[in-house]
Structures are given as C-alpha cells and as structure tokens.
Amino acid sequence: MSFNTTTRYSGLAMLLHWAIAVLVIVQWRIAEAAEEAATREAGAAIMANHFALGVVIFVVVALRLLWRQVSPPPPPVKSHAPWERTFARIVHLAFYVLLLVMPVAGWIALSSFGEPVSVFGLFALPALPVPQNPDLGEAIFELHGASGVALLVLIALHALAALKHTFIDKDGTLYRMLPFGRARG
C-alpha cells in the first residue's frame, strides 16, 4: 500500500484539456482569418464564428473547472524545481482567468453595440443591459485582442515547458496529460 500514487490527470480532465487546446487554437485562427478577409462583410461573417466558439469555450472551461473540484489534479512532479511549480500554477491560473474573462468581455463589448451573440444560429445570448457606447465596445475589444496575444505567448511557453520536461529532462510530464506513456509523480 502506498499513498498519493496518482501521477495522471483523470480521463475526463485529459479530454477537456485537449478539447480546450484545440478549440483555443481554432479560435485564434478564426480571428486571424477575419482580419485578413477581403471585405468588411466577409470579416464580420467569419467573426460570427469566433463569437459563437467563444461561448462554447467558456462552457467547456467551466465544465473543466467543475470537474477539477470533483477530481483534483495529481500532486506536482517531485523533480520539478519549486520555482517551476509556482510558475506552472500561475500560468494555469492565468489560462483559466483569461478563458473565462475573454468571452465575457466579448459579450459585454458586443452588448455595448446593442448586438446579441448568436451561437451558430442555434440560439443567441441577448445583449446585456449595458449603456450603448461603441467607443467603450471598441476599447474592450482592443483589450481583448491584447489579452489574446498574451494568451498565445503563455500557450507557447506552456507547450515548450511540457516538451522540454518530457524530452530533455525525461521526467514524464507530458504523459500526465495523456492516457499512455510513463507518467511520474
């Protein structure tokens, strides 16, 4: 018998992690595609998908956080330095904060133009009762865009750290988030 031998995230946590990762990358590519669209109308049509996917990401992240309460993460890898653990915790926290705040900020910004958020034409989140103020909406979108860039930088750092630990330090970090390979505590 031994205690605390858990070295992997649960299957559902893995599924949600990789779903969020794919959705966030797609979300970013949609925003870029909208920026490069030939006309304003084409850009707006592409951006409608970004708004809708933002709502989906919010829901998936909320599910992930609920599941995290039921099935908490395994204890950190023992060979990770204290500063690495602290840094990883800060980055993970920043992911959750950004992934919840960014879509809500987007909803508030669209609301200040009086626009609802249509979710792929299936249903719509009504405009929130905020003052009609396109300047404020623009300012929020500006901040949202800057947060998006910060998010991408953190994702690059996070992925590089996971790969460095796994393939250079050979400490099995990546396998904690995968259903195969040798994960370690």
Residues in contact with ligand HEM by the rule CB under 6 A: 17, 20-21, 24-25, 27-28, 31, 50-51, 54, 57, 68, 73, 88, 92, 95-96, 99, 102-103, 106-107, 110, 117, 141-142, 144-145, 148-149, 151, 155, 158-159, 162-163, 173-174, 176-177
Beta strand residue intervals within the chain, DSSP E: 117-119, 123-125
Nearer to ligand HEM, 1 or 162 (CB): 162
Spatial distance between the Cα atoms of 11 and 179, rounded to a whole number of angstroms: 7
> Under 8 Å CB-to-CB from 129, ≥6 apart: which residues?
111
Least CB distance to ligand HEM at residue 132 (A): 16
Helix, strand, coil share (%) of the chain residues, nearest 5: 70, 5, 30
**Mind giving me the DSSP string for 132-165?**
--HHHHHHHHHHHHHHHHHHHHHHHHHHHHHHHH
Nearer to ligand HEM, 68 or 130 (CB): 68
Least CB distance to ligand HEM at residue 119 (A): 10
Least CB distance to ligand HEM at residue 131 (A): 17
Least CB distance to ligand HEM at residue 3 (A): 19
DSSP 117: E
CB 57 within 8 A of CB 99: yes
Nearer to ligand HEM, 38 or 151 (CB): 151
Least CB distance to ligand HEM at residue 1 (A): 24
